[in-house]
Amino acid sequence: MKYVSTRGGGQPKNFDEAILTGLAPDGGLYVPTSIPSFSISDIEAWKKLSYKQLAFEVMQPFIGDCIPEKDLIKLIDTAYSSFNHSATAPLIQTGHNEWVLELFHGPTLAFKDFALQFLGQLLNYVLKRKNKKVVIMGATSGDTGSAAIEGCRDCDNMKMFILHPHQRVSEVQRRQMTTVLSGRVFNIALKGNFDDCQNMVKACFSNQSFLPNKLQLVAVNSINWARIMAQIVYYFWAALHLGVRSNFISFSVPTGNFGDVFAGYIASKMGLPIKQLIVATNSNDILHRCLSDNDHSIRPLKRTLAPSMDIMISSNFERLLFDVHGRDGAYVVKLMEESQKGTLKLADEVRFVIQQLFTTYRCDNHEMLEMIRILNKNNGYLLDPHSAIGLSAARRCRADIETPMVSLATAHPAKFPDAVKQAGFAEAASLPDHLNDLFLRAEHMHILENNQVAVQKFMADRVSDLVEI
């Protein structure tokens, strides 16, 4: 399988080249040249597979002959052995024909482990094979950082720098990053907000000459195709457990960067009979406004109780725009210029096509807290704030009651104790066993000014021993 940029530039790349970069050189995102597709009976034949076996079937066609099958099986096995639930992604029924898909049983308690545990294995494998050393760099508002650190901590051929906004991530999130003991991982607490972190990362990617030894940066956020690919699997998983033959299924997805819900879109293109994909946003509602009112104006970032969805512009939306505009890269260049300015307008027929599958919904803090209370009262089940936004959207927007509705539970409630307390629960949810000494472990981080020269010097000083032999 080859990969091309959403902006039409450059030559097609192999899978391993596409995952070993950040953006394509023309500023676009890599997407596969074609989407593998399966019939209902092909899909139904996967019914008895374990999560790992299913992951192999779903992901292998995107990788092709880039990785031998027996090696891919091993990578998948290692990645998902770190999960703490024998079903990997269990479905819990919460109402009539309504389920939540628990995606928080990985080591860092958020769904990002599904992608990053696997990406870590993949990078380690590909780098060893190429005898290549790289520098991983990423910005995090909380969950990506810890999942990336957990996923890549044992990767020999790299060093990793994760920037988080100083004093603006929750204590659980910070400790999950800063208590990992590894000489290869550096946590930078940047004196600024999340946008400052993201801008710093972008600036470093766009000119990498500050790195010694011709080292290159690798991205671990959801612009990396391997992350999207790994997330497609659990859409199939849920559907197979609820029965796919002559049965549609719908999903509600709490959305920030549009990565997770885009994986659902790809699942649908692969042949999974998805009726409805609900894009659930918090008050940072650009996707909701864009698809419901054709309003893509950029509004200031609001800090909400679902911080992992506090995003002004969703980067993976570009991948959808590319697909619904006939994969016309030159046209996407124009759309993305408008997107940056906030003047993007979609043609009516394009919005019509998107609306055949996608429904959007905005849920504010008040409604989210109410959802946490209602589900606890009626089901004795505690949702985290992001998952509550997904379920609230599912209940308000579902097209019909006959189609099973699966709402993605993207984080464990113990990760967001403040929201749980604001919902009126005296005790926050307790952390699972493997994290119960989190508050006792020593922390390692470096507090840096929001200054490009300082950050680049900090990094350059720490990677000089990364040399290709």
Ligand X SMILES: *Cc1c(COP(=O)(O)O)cnc(C)c1O
Q: Which residues are annotated as catalytic?
A: 112
DSSP letter (8 states) at residue 256: S
198 part of the interface to ligand X, by CB under 6 A: no
260 part of the interface to ligand X, by CB under 6 A: yes
Cα dihedral 74/76/78/81 (nearest 10): -130
Using CB under 6 A, pick the residue from 113, 143, 285, 318 that binds ligand X: 143
Size of site (CB under 6 A) for ligand X: 16
113 part of the interface to ligand X, by CB under 6 A: no
Measured from the CB of residue 112, what is the shortest distance to ligand X in angstroms? 5
User: Strand pairing of 405-409 and 98-102?
Assistant: parallel
Measured from the CB of residue 457, what is the shortest distance to ligand X in angstroms? 30
In 3D, which of 406, 411, 389, 433 has the Cα closest to residue 114? 411
Q: Which is nearer to ligand X, 403 or 410 (CB)?
A: 410
Q: Which is nearer to ligand X, 186 or 258 (CB)?
A: 258
Using CB under 6 A, pick the residue from 94, 117, 276, 410 that binds ligand X: 410
Segment interacting with ligand X, rule: CB under 6 A, options 250-258, 326-334, 430-438, 445-453: 250-258
For residue 124, the one-letter residue type is: N
222 part of the interface to ligand X, by CB under 6 A: yes
**Residue 64, Ramachandran bin (φ over 0: left; ψ between -120 and 50: alpha; else beta):** left
Six token digits for residue 10: 């450059």
CA–CA dist 152, 148 (Å, integer): 6
258 part of the interface to ligand X, by CB under 6 A: yes
Helix, coil or strand: residue 410: coil
Query: Which residue spans within 260-364 are E strands per DSSP?
Result: 274-281, 358-362
Measured from the CB of residue 256, what is the shortest distance to ligand X in angstroms? 3
For residue 147, the one-letter residue type is: A
Q: 299 to 358, contacts with ligand X by CB under 6 A?
A: 308-309
Measured from the CB of residue 467, what is the shortest distance to ligand X in angstroms? 34
CA–CA dist 348, 337 (Å, integer): 19
Segment interacting with ligand X, rule: CB under 6 A, options 33-41, 127-135, 251-259, 442-450: 251-259
Using CB under 6 A, pick the residue from 280, 336, 411, 448 that binds ligand X: 411
241 part of the interface to ligand X, by CB under 6 A: no
Measured from the CB of residue 143, what is the shortest distance to ligand X in angstroms? 3
User: What are the DSSP calls for 434-469, one per residue?
Assistant: GGTTTTTSPP--EEE-S-HHHHHHHHHHHHTT----
Segment interacting with ligand X, rule: CB under 6 A, options 9-17, 67-75, 208-216, 249-257: 249-257
CA–CA dist 435, 457 (Å, integer): 34
Instruction: Please name every residue paired with 94 in a beta bridge, in sequence order, or none if there are none.
Output: none
Give the containing element (helix H, strand E) for 268: helix 259-269
Using CB under 6 A, pick the residue from 35, 43, 58, 110 that binds ligand X: 110
404 part of the interface to ligand X, by CB under 6 A: no
Maximum Cα–Cα distance across the chain: 61
Measured from the CB of residue 404, what is the shortest distance to ligand X in angstroms? 21
The contact set with ligand X (CB under 6 A) reads 110, 112, 143, 222, 254-260, 308-309, 386, 410-411
